[in-house]
Structure 1
Amino acid sequence: MTAPETEKTSVPEAEALRERALASLTTARARTTLLTSCVEDPDLTAQHSPLMSPLVWDLAHIGNQEEQWLLRAVGGREAMRPEIDGLYDAFEHPRAERPSLPLLPPAEARGYAAEVRGRVVDLLTAADFHGSRLTEAGFAFGMIAQHEQQHDETMLITHQLRRGPQALTAPDPEPVPLFPGPAEVLVPGGPFTMGTSTEPWALDNERPAHPVQVAPFWIDTTPVTNAAYQAFIEDGGYDTERWWTPEGWAHVRQHSLTAPLFWRRDGGQWLRRRFGATEAVPADEPVLHVCWYEADAYARWAGRRLPTEAEWEKAARHDPVSGRSTRYPWGDADPEPDHANLGQRHLRPAPAGSYPAGASPLGVRQLIGDVWEWTSSDFLPYPGFRAFPYKEYSEVFFGSSYKVLRGGSFAVDPVACRGTFRNWDHPIRRQIFSGFRTARSEAV
C-alpha cells in the first residue's frame, strides 16, 4: 500500500514518539531476555510441542524481523544476514519442521538480535517520523515492538507446554472477595463505532473505523470461571452431543477431550499443571486453555451463546453517556496496573471480578487482560480494509477457518492490547491463553 507523504512532526512530538518507541522496544527485549535466559541451551533448541517453534527460532526471528523492517525498510541499511531471511520466514517453514533447519545456535542468535537492536537504537535517535505511512507516528517501531511482544506470548505458551522443573515465577494477583455484582449486564442496542482510524500503532485488521448496528444483548459481567466450567463437566458436558457443533463433537471424540488442557482429576479434585507446577484448579479464576468448540458447547449448555465480535467490542468500548467509542473499557488512558492483568506481571488470571477500575461504563469487568476471549465471529476484514504493510499480517488469514479472540490475556503486553485489537486462531487451539464469556439476546 502506498501512502502520501505526511506533514513533518514537531520536535516535541518527535521526542515523545522516540521515548515511547524506545520504552516499548526496551520492555519487549527485557521480556524476551527473561524468557530465553531462564532455561539452559538444550531447552532453547528443543521443540517442546509440534505446535510451537523452538525458543531459539523465536529469538532469531524477532531479530530478523526487526532488521528487515527497521534497519532495511525504514533506515535503508544493507542487509546484515540476508542468508538467514528464509530460515526465519514464518510462512516458508511450518513450526513442526523448524527444528530440522540450520538455525543459529543460542549464543549466535542472542548476539545477532543484540547487534540489530543496537543499530535500531541509533536509527531511532535520528528518526523524524514523517515521509511515509511506515514512519508516521513511529508506526514501524510500534509494529516491531508489538511483534516482539506477540512472540514473547508465544514463547510463554512454549514454557507452559514444556516439561520439566519450574523455570518462571511471578507473584500471584491480589486475592479479592467473591464477586457480589450482577451476573450479566444489558448492553443497549444501537450504533457504535467499531475499529479505529486514529490509533497510531493500530494494525491493519483493526482499521478503518466504521459504524455498526448492534441489537440489545446481555453479556456476562466477568469471564466464565473454573467453577462454572466444572459444573458443565460434571453435568456430562463432554459426553452430550447436543451441546456441540458437528465439527466440535468430532474433535472431542477424536481427541478424547474431557476437560480443559492441562487439567486432570485426582480423586474428587481437579488439578492443573501451570508452568511446571501442579496445583488445585482455583474455582474463582476465569477458565483457561479451552478451545472455541469447548467455549461454544458450554454456552449452549448454559442456554446462552458466545458474543459476536461486534458485541464484544461494543461492550468494551461504547460509552452510552457520550455515545463515543473509547480506547479501553475505562476510557482513553493507557493501561495501569489497577486496570487490568497484563504484561506477564502475573502468570495466571486474576479472580473473577478483579480490577473494578478497569470496568466499562456499564460495569463489565476484565474485558482487557486475564484471558483471551473467544467470540462467535470468523476473522474477516472490515469494510474498506487495506493490507499494510504486508498482506501476510492479516489478509491471508481472513475466512471461516479462524475465529476471533478479543481482550488479551495476562501474557499480553499493553503495547499489543487495546479495545480494537483483534486476535485469531483455529477453533481447535487450546494451548493459547484462551477463555470466554457468554451472551444472550435481549428477550423481545
Structure 2
Amino acid sequence: MTDPALDAEALRERAVASLVTARDRTTLLTSCVDGPDLTAQHSPLMSPLVWDLAHIGNQEEQWLLRAVAGHEAIRPEIDSLYDAFEHPRSERPKLPLLPPEEARRYAADVRGRALDVLERAAFHGTRLTEAGFAFGMIAQHEQQHDETMLITHQLRKGPQALTAPDPEPVPLFTGPAEVLVPGGPFTMGTSDEPWALDNERPAHRREVAPFRIDTTPVTNAAYQAFIEDGGYDEPRWWTAEGWAHVRRNSLTAPLFWRRDGRQWLRRRFGVTEVVPPDEPVLHVCWYEADAYARWAGRRLPTEAEWEKAARYDPAGDRSTRYPWGDADPGPEHANLGQRHLRPAPAGSYPAGESPLGVRQLIGDVWEWTASDFLPYPGFRAFPYKEYSEVFFGPEYKVLRGGSFAVDPVACRGTFRNWDLPVRRQIFSGFRTARSEDV
C-alpha cells in the first residue's frame, strides 16, 4: 500500500515545481520589455501586459490564500480591476491599474504567502484541496496567461524582445499522408486526472465512426497551394459567415503574412522571415481552416474524432493520457513550454506519435476542430461557472492539442481550448479528416 505521506510529499513537490515554472515564465515575459511596453495596449484584442501580471497575482490570492487558507484579502479594492468578466480587454488600459513595479511586488507577496500555505496544505478534505487541485488550477491559470502574454508579444510592434533556439531540423516527412482511425466506442474525457478542469469531465463513452485523419498538421506549403489556387477569392469553399468575414476584413493569407514578389514573408516576434514551407501553418482562424479543408475535399475532425486519434490505444482498448502513453511530456515527445518560439517541422517528434501513427497531436499548434464548445454529459461547473459554463454554445469552436506556447501542466489529451471562429492572433493551426467509406 502506498504511504499517504509520500503521496502528499510528491503532490507538494509537483505543485511547487509547477508554480515556480509558471512564475519564471511570467517574469521572463514581463521583464524583457520596459515599462511603456508593459502598460501599453498592443492590440484591442489583448490586455496590457501589466494587467495580466496583477491578474495572475489576484487570482492566486483569491483561490489559494482566501478560499484554501481562509486568509483575509490583501488588496480587496483591486478585485474588480482584475475581474476578467467585469472589464473587457479593450477597456483595461483606461483602468487605474497597478504600475509595473507595484504589480510585481503584489504578485511576489501573494506567491510567498501561497508557498507557505502549500507547505502546510493537506491534500484532502474538500474538493478544492483534493490532490492539490487548487494549486494545479492556479499553475494552469498562470501558464494560460503566459501564453496570452506571448500572443501580446507577437502582436507588439518593435524590435525583437524574446529569443529561443529553433527546433531541431528533421528530414522532410515522407510517411503516409493520413491514418485510419477505427470505428467504435472509446472513453472521452477524464474522471481521474487530478488537475483536469471541469470541462474535461466526466469520462464517458463516445461512439465514433471510422475515419481518416492527417498524419501531421497542415503545413505552410500546403496552405500556400490553397492561396495560389484562389482560395480566398472563391466563395464556394467558405461558410456564409466565413465568406462575409473574409470580404469584410480583406483576408488574403494567414495573419502576419505578406507577399514579397514570388515569396511569402511573415513577422514572428519582431523578426521578418521567409515563411518556412514544412512548418504547420499558424495564425489561421476557424473559417480559414474550414475553407481549406473543403478545398482539399476533406473536413475538419470533430472534437471526439480528434481525441480518439490522440488517446485511443487499440492494443489495450483504452484511452491514454497522451498520444504516446501515460508518461508526462518530455522534450522528445512534443514542442511545449515556450522552449521554442515556433512550431517544429511537420513529422517531428516520432516518440510522441499515437499508437495509430498520428504525429504532433500535442504541442506545436492548437488545432481547430469542427465542434462547438459544449459540456460533456454529466458536466458540473467547478469551482466557478465562469471558467467554462458561460462559454458553452455555438459561438465558440473547440481547439485541441496545445501549441509551442503551452506548458505541459496545461496540456493533456483531454484538455479543451475554445475561441471565436474569427480569432487568428492565437497560435492556431489545424489538420483535416475524411469519413471512411464503409
Q: What TM-score bracket applies, with the shorter chain setting the length?
A: over 0.9
Question: 1:311 maps to which residue?
Answer: 305
> Partners of 1:215 and 1:107 in 2: how far apart?
55
2:227 maps to what in 1?
Answer: 233
Query: Distance in 2 between the 1:407 and 1:164 partners?
Result: 30
Q: Which amino acid aligns with 2:382?
A: F
Note if contact 1:216-1:442 (Cα within 8 Å) is conserved in structure 2.
yes
Give, in whole Å, the separation in 2 of the partners of 1:126 and 1:395.
32
Number of the residue aligned with 1:39: 33
Q: Does 2:200 match 1:209?
A: no
Is the 1:342–1:410 contact (alpha carbons within 8 Å) kept by the matching residues of 2? Answer: yes
Match of 2:404 among 390, 394, 410: 410
Query: SS of the counterpart of 1:352?
Result: coil
- Which residue among 257, 267, 271 is the counterpart of 1:263? 257
Shift of 1:435: 0.0
SS at match of 2:367: strand
Structure 1 residues not aligned, in runs of 5+ = 1-7
Q: Look up the SS of the partner of 2:166 in the other structure.
A: coil
Q: How far apart, CA to CA, are the structure 2 residues paired with 1:124 and 1:9?
A: 19
Q: Which amino acid aligns with 1:165?
A: P
Map of 1:11 onto structure 2: 5
- After superposition, the C-alpha distances for 1:314-364 in whole angstroms (9 at most, x for unaligned) are 000000110000000000000000000000000000000000000000110
Q: Is the 8 Å Cα contact of residues 9 and 129 (structure 1) preserved in structure 2?
A: no
2:381 matched residue in structure 1: 387
Partner of 1:50: 44
Counterpart amino acid of 2:14?
A: R
1:188 maps to 182
Write out per-residue CA displacement over residues 162-208 of structure 1, whole angstroms, 9 at most, x where no aligned residue: 00000000000000000010000000000000000000000000000
The amino acid across from 2:20 in the alignment is T
Q: Does 1:287 align with 2:281?
A: yes
Specify the alignment match of 2:368 in structure 1: 374
Q: Report the secondary structure of 1:272's partner residue.
A: strand
Task: Provide TM-score, normalisation by structure 2.
Answer: 0.99
SS of residue paired to 2:319: coil
Decide whether the 8 Å contact of 1:222 with 1:364 is kept in 2.
yes
Matched-pair contact (CA < 8 Å) for 1:9–1:130? no
Give me the whole-angstrom Cα distance separating, in 2, the residues matched to 1:351 and 1:75.
46
TM-fit CA distance, 1:9? 8.6
Aligned residue among 349, 357, 373 for 1:355: 349
Instruction: Tell me if 1:434 matches 2:416.
Output: no
Q: 1:307 to 1:103 in 2, by over 3 A?
A: same
Q: 1:73 maps to what in 2?
A: 67
Checking the alignment, whether the CA contact within 8 Å between 1:168 and 1:275 is kept in structure 2 is yes
The number of residue pairs the alignment matches comes to: 437
Aligned to 2:172: 178
Report matched runs for 1:70-219 at 5 Å.
70-219=64-213
Name the SS for the 1:402 alignment partner: strand
Counterpart-to-counterpart distance in 1, 2:207 and 2:59: 38
| Counterpart Cα distance in 1 of 2:124 and 2:432 | 44
TM-score (norm: length of structure 1): 0.98
Q: Distance in 2 between matches of 1:123 and 1:386?
A: 27
Describe the shift of the 1:106–1:185 C-alpha distance in structure 2 as closer, same or farther (beyond 3 A).
same
Q: What is the match of residue 335 of structure 2?
A: 341
Q: CA RMSD in A?
A: 0.8
1:16, distance to aligned residue in structure 2 (A): 0.5
Q: Which amino acid aligns with 1:370?
A: D
Post-superposition shift, 1:443?
Answer: 1.5
Contact preservation (8 Å) 1:171, 1:346: yes
Match in the other structure for 1:321:
315
Q: Report the CA distance between 1:128 and its aligned residue.
A: 1.2
Structure 2: stretches of 5+ with no match in the other structure: none
Q: Distance in 2 between matches of 1:431 and 1:193?
A: 32
**Secondary structure, counterpart of 1:28 in structure 2:** helix
CA contact (8 A) 1:204 1:387 kept: yes
User: Using the alignment, how far apart are the partners of 2:411 and 2:149 within structure 1?
Assistant: 17
Q: What one-letter code is carried by the residue in structure 1 that aligns with 2:435?
A: S
Distance 1:360 1:210 in 2: 21
Which residue number corresponds to residue 5 of structure 1?
none
CA distance in 2, matches of 1:9, 1:155: 40
Partner of 1:365: 359
Partner of 1:4: none
